[in-house]
Structure 1
Amino acid sequence: MKNPIFQNSYIIGVISAVLIFGSLVECRVPSSSNKIDYTAINCRKHSAILTDFGAVGDGKTLNTKAFNSAITKLSQYANDGGATLIVPPGKWLTGSFNLTSHFTLFLQKDAVILASQNEADWPQLPVLPSYGRGRDAPAGRYSSLIFGTHLTDVIITGNNGTIDGQGSVWWEKFKKGEMKLTRPYMIELMYSDQIQISNLNLINSPYWFVHPIYSSNIIVNGLTIRAPLDVPNTDGVNPDSCTNVRIEDNYIESGDDCIAIKSGWDQYGIKFGKPSEHIIIRRVTCISPKSAMVAIGSEMSGGVQDVRIEDLTAINTESAVRIKSAVGRGGFVKDIFVKGLNLNTMKYVFWMTGSYGDHPDSKFDPKALPEINGINFRDVTAKNATIAGKLEGISNDPFTGICISNATIEMFVKKDSDIEMDAKKVKLPWNCTDVAGVTSNVVPQPCALLPDKKVDCPFPTDKLAIENVQFKTCSI
C-alpha cells in the first residue's frame, strides 16, 4: 500500500535516462524534458545505467554479476565527483551485492530489485562483534541484499522504486527451525559515515529491513516499509551502535518493531562499548500489532542515550515507545525524550521491561545491571488502549527519572457480556514495580510510584548536528 503522504516530493521529472558507457561512464547532457531532479546529501559527477552491464529486467535472469560489475567500474570515480548507478524500470533479480564510497544507487519509478531466494546467492559473514553470535543461530550470518562496510558518502534512493526481499522462503525456514545461519537483512551498512536511504518502497525483507551498524551521520527518510504483520523479526529501521541519526517521514507496517534502537548484546555489547546516541525520530506512522512503534533494546549493552522522538502515529500497535532490558545486559538507557504521540488501538501505551531475558549464551554476567534513567514523555493522546502503563524495573536496580506529562488515555471498554466477573482477573490500567518518577496531568491516574508533581517533562530545544544537514538538488 503506497501512502501518498510519503510519496517523493522532490522528484519533479519522469524520464528514461539515455546514457553512454565506454572507457568513461558519463551522462549524456539531457534536455529539460528528460531530466530527473532529486534531493541528496551529495550529487555525483558520473553515472551509468544497469543495463550497460548486461542486466536483464525480466524477473528471472540473475543480475548479481551485473550489479557487482557496475559498482566496481563506478568505484573508480570515487575521487572524481562520485558516481550514480541507475536501476531502470523492470524486475531485476539479484543476490547480495556490495556498495562503494561516494556512490548513489538510484531506483527509477517502476524499478524493482528482487532478492534471490537461493541461499547460494548470499555470501556468509562472521558474527557481529557486539553480538557474539547470530541471532537466528549461533554460527555466522548471511550478507544483506545490499551491503557495505567502511564506506563514506553512500546513498540509496530513487523515485519510489521498490526493493523486494522475497522473504517468504526465509520466514518458512525460520519457522521450521531450519536456519543454520542468521537470515539476511535487506540493507546493512557497517563502519560507515554519511549515509542516506530515502524515497523507496521496501517490502518483504527476510529479516530486519534497514540496519546501519557502527556507523554515523545517517538519514533515513521517505520510506514505505511493509512486511506481513504476523512475521517475526521484520523490523523496519534498526540503528545499532550508531551516532547522529535522523529518521523521519516514514510509513512502516511490520510484524516486529517499526523502529528499534540497539547497541550490542550482553557481554559482547559491553566489551565492544559503542553506544547509540544523538538520534531523532519524527513524523513516522507505524502499524505493528505484535510489537512496538519504537523499541529501545533489548540489545542495549553498549548504551543508548540522547534519543528524541516526536510527532509519531501508531495504529493497531502493541506498544508505543518501549524500553526492553534485563539482568546481564549492563549498559544504559538515558536521556530519552518523547513528545507528540498519537496512538489508536494499543495494548500498552507506556511499557518498560526489566526482564527481557533473551541472552546470546550462558556466559553473561548476572551482576551486569542496566542503568535506566531520564525517560521523558509529554503530549500523548491514546484511544482504545487496553493497558495505560506497565512499568517493570529490576529488583535492586529500579528504573528512575521517569517523567510523564499531559497524557490522555481512553481505555478500551468491553461489552457487558464480555466483562470478567472475577475481580481478581480484571486488569488495572497501570502496573508499576521497581520504578521511580513523576507524572502531571495524566489520565487515568498513574500508579503510586509515579506521583503527581505538576511538572512539564523536558524536551530539548537545541538541534542535533544531523538535523542541520541540508539536501542538495541533484540531476540525472
Structure 2
Amino acid sequence: MNLKTTAKAALSIAFGAMSLCATAQQQYSWTNLPKIAQPVFKKDTISIVKFGAKSDGITLNTKAINNAIDACSAKGGGVVLVPQGYWLTGPIVLKSNVNLHVDRAAMLAFTSDKSQYPLVEGNYEGHPSPRNQSPISATNQVNIAVTGTGIIDGHGEVWRAIGKDRLTENEWKALVAKGGIVSNDGRSWLPSESYQKGATTPNSTYIQPGKSLKDYEPMKDFFRPNMVVLTNCKKVLLEGVTVQNSPAWCLHPLLCEDLTLRNVRVRNPWNAQNGDAIDVESCKNVLIEGSTFDAGDDGICVKSGRDEEGRKRGKPTENMIVRNNVVYRAHGGFVIGSEMSGGARNIFVSNCTFIGTDIGLRFKTTRGRGGVVEKIFIKDIAMRDILGSAILFDMYYGGKSFADGDAAGKTNVSAIPVTEATPQFRDFWVSNITCDGASNGLLIRGLPEMAIKDIHLDNVTLKTTKGAEISEAKNIFLKNVRFECKTSPVVIVDNSSNVNIDGMKYTENADQLFLVNGERSGQINVTNTDASKAKEKVSFKGGANSKAISIK
C-alpha cells in the first residue's frame, strides 16, 4: 500500500470515527429528553353563567369571568367553564389551580373598546415597556391552564397598523372608511392619533428613566398587548383551544417553568404586524406538540431577552421539546432569536412540517446581542414552498422581514473585538430534512470575529433555486446531503475552515460544484462525492488557496 493510499484510508477511518461519534451523541441526546411536569386540577366545575355572564355579544363579561376564576382559586381550584356561546369580555387574569375551559363552539371574544385595557408595565423584546393589559394574563401563578376546543379572539385588527401594499384595493378602501389615520405618504393605515403619537415619538417603545406609565397615556394605543402573557408561572397547560387575531404576539410565556402547549391552533392574518404565533422567552422545561400555527410573523420562536437587559437576566430558554407541529404562512417555521441574549440550549425539534413560510429553520442574531445558542437537536422536518432559505444561520439579522435571510444589507464584514455582546451559535445537529421548493437551501453566515461552529447536517434533501453558502464558519459537517438546485456553484465556502462534506449529491451537469472564496478558507474535505457530474469542479476567488479544498 503506497503512502497516498494509506493517507486516504486514514482519512476515511477518521471521518468514519467522527461520524460514529456524532451519531452516538445524537442518539444519546434523543433518548434523554427533558421531563415536563404537568398541572393537575380538581374536577369541580363552575360555569361563568353562575356569576352573571351573558352570551348576547353585548354584555361585557369581564367581571363575571374574573369573579368565577377568583372564587374557583380561593376554594382550592378546579374548572371554570366558558360554555357554547358568544362571550364578550375585557382582560382576564388567570389564578393558581384554575383550568379555564372554553367549550366546543364557544367564542371568547375580547372587546375592541381599548379603554377596557389599562396601561401596565410589561415587557417588550426583553425590556420593561408600557403595554396595554393583555387579554389573558397570569403572573407568579402555579398550576394553571386554558383548555377546551373553543375559540379565543383578540380583535387584533383594531390595534394593528398595516401597510397599503398588504391589502387589496377594496380592503384598503373599506379600512380607511372605518376611521383611523392614513400616514402622510399614504402608504400606511394607523388605528388612531394616539397610535400615531407613539409611533412618531422617539424612544417610546421602552420605559425611559424618570418616566412613569402616566407619561405614556397620550400614546396608549401604540402599546399593543400580546394576546396571552404568562409571566413567572409554573406548571402551565394550554390545550385544544384556537387562539386567533392577536393585537401583537399571540402566545408569550416569559420566565415560566414546566409549560405544555398541546393540540393548540394559532390563527393570525398573514399580514398581522408582529403577529408571532408563540414566543417562548427564558422558559425552562417546555413541550409544544400536536399544534398548528398560521402567523403574521415567526411561527414557533425561542427568545431569552435582548442585548444588555437579556444578559443581565441571564435566563436561557432550555430543556424544550417541539414535536408533531405544522406551521403554515409565517416568517419562520422554527426560530431561535433574534432576542436570545440569555442563550438557548437543550432544544429538541422533531416531526414538524412547514408550508409556505418565509424561512424554514431560522436561527438569527446580530452583534450586540451576546448569548450562546447551543445543543440544538432537529430531525424529521418536511418543508414545501419556502420563500427564502430552507435552513438559515444568520448573525447579521437587521430586524427586517423579507424572505431572503435578512442579511442582504450587511455592511461591516471586518472583525471587531470579541466581548460579552458577541453572540455565539454552536453545536447544532440536524438530520432527516426534506424541502421541496425554496430560494436557498442552506445559508450559514457567521461573524469574522465569531464563526458559527459545530454544525452537523445528515440525510438532508433540498430542492431549491440555490444550493449552499457557508460563510465565516468552522467545523461544519454535511453527510448524505443532496442539493437539487437550479444555479451554480452548488456550494460556496467563504472564509470558513474544517468544512467536511461526505456523500453529497447534486443536480447532474451543474455548471460548477464548488466556489472557494477568501484567504481564511481551508481544510475543506470532500469525500464519497462524484465531482465528475459537474462541468467544473471548483474555482477560487478572493485570495483563496487552491490547496484549501480536497476532493476524494
**Equivalent runs, 1:437-448 vs 2, <5 Å:** 437-444=476-483, 446-448=491-493
Q: Does 1:90 align with 2:79?
A: no
Deviation at 1:358, TM superposition (A): 4.7
Unaligned runs of 5+ in 2: 1-37, 163-187, 199-218, 401-416, 484-489, 505-552
- Choose which of 260, 266, 272 in structure 1 pairs with 2:301: 260
- Choose which of 328, 345, 355 in structure 1 pairs with 2:368: 328
Aligned equivalent of 1:269: 310
- Choose which of 292, 310, 324 in structure 1 pairs with 2:350: 310
Measured in 1, the distance between the counterparts of 2:66 and 2:437 equals 50
Kept in 2, the 8 Å contact 1:340–1:379? The answer is: yes
Kept in 1, the 8 Å contact 2:480–2:502? The answer is: no
Give the SS at the match of 1:451: strand
Q: Does 1:340 align with 2:380?
A: yes
Give the SS at the match of 1:65: helix
Unaligned runs of 5+ in 1: 1-39, 135-139, 360-364, 413-427, 456-476
Percent same amino acid at aligned positions?
Answer: 29
Q: Does 1:58 align with 2:44?
A: no
Measured in 2, the distance between the counterparts of 1:62 and 1:86 equals 17
Q: Does 1:107 align with 2:112?
A: no
- Choose which of 401, 417, 434 in structure 1 pairs with 2:472: 434
Q: Does 1:452 align with 2:441?
A: no
- Report Cα offsets for 1:50-77 as digits up to 9, x if no partner: 1111111112211111112111212212
Partner AA of 2:312 in structure 1 = K
Deviation at 1:303, TM superposition (A): 0.7
Measured in 1, the distance between the counterparts of 2:64 and 2:280 equals 30
Give the SS at the match of 1:62: coil
Aligned equivalent of 1:195: 236
Measured in 2, the distance between the counterparts of 1:219 and 1:446 equals 40
Measured in 2, the distance between the counterparts of 1:132 and 1:314 equals 31
Measured in 2, the distance between the counterparts of 1:341 and 1:403 equals 15
Kept in 2, the 8 Å contact 1:327–1:357? The answer is: no
Deviation at 1:164, TM superposition (A): 0.6
Partner AA of 2:500 in structure 1 = P
Kept in 2, the 8 Å contact 1:240–1:261? The answer is: yes
Aligned equivalent of 2:46: 48
Measured in 1, the distance between the counterparts of 2:60 and 2:319 equals 40
Aligned equivalent of 2:137: 147
- Report Cα offsets for 1:334-373 as digits up to 9, x if no partner: 01111001111112111111112459xxxxx994101211
Q: Which has the higher contact order (CA 8 A, sep 6+)?
A: 1
Aligned equivalent of 1:392: 445
Give the SS at the match of 1:171: coil
Deviation at 1:45, TM superposition (A): 4.1
Measured in 2, the distance between the counterparts of 1:146 and 1:91 equals 17
Kept in 2, the 8 Å contact 1:439–1:446? The answer is: no
Q: Does 1:294 align with 2:334?
A: yes
Deviation at 1:237, TM superposition (A): 1.6
**Equivalent runs, 1:133-172 vs 2, <5 Å:** 133-134=128-129, 140-158=130-148, 160-172=149-161
C-alpha RMSD of matched pairs (Å) = 2.1
Larger Rg: 2
User: For residues 208 and 130 of structure 1, do their structure 2 counterparts lie closer, same or farther at Cα, with a shift above 3 Å needed?
Assistant: closer
Kept in 1, the 8 Å contact 2:250–2:277? The answer is: yes
Aligned equivalent of 1:122: 117
- Report Cα offsets for 1:373-420 as digits up to 9, x if no partner: 1112110111022211221111211111111111111125xxxxxxxx
Partner AA of 2:452 in structure 1 = F
Give the SS at the match of 1:327: coil
- Report Cα offsets for 1:201-231 as digits up to 9, x if no partner: 1111111111111010010010111111122
- Report Cα offsets for 1:4-40 as digits up to 9, x if no partner: xxxxxxxxxxxxxxxxxxxxxxxxxxxxxxxxxxxx8
Deviation at 1:162, TM superposition (A): 0.4
Q: Does 1:131 align with 2:118?
A: no
Measured in 1, the distance between the counterparts of 2:127 and 2:161 equals 25
Q: Does 1:234 align with 2:275?
A: yes
Partner AA of 1:98 in structure 2 = V
Kept in 1, the 8 Å contact 2:481–2:503? The answer is: no
Aligned equivalent of 1:374: 427
Partner AA of 2:46 in structure 1 = A
Aligned equivalent of 1:75: 73
How many residue pairs match? The answer is 386
- Choose which of 185, 208, 211 in structure 1 pairs with 2:249: 208
Deviation at 1:43, TM superposition (A): 3.0
TM-score, normalised with respect to structure 1: 0.77
Deviation at 1:106, TM superposition (A): 0.4
Deviation at 1:313, TM superposition (A): 0.3
Deviation at 1:454, TM superposition (A): 6.2
Kept in 2, the 8 Å contact 1:46–1:77? The answer is: no
Kept in 2, the 8 Å contact 1:250–1:285? The answer is: yes
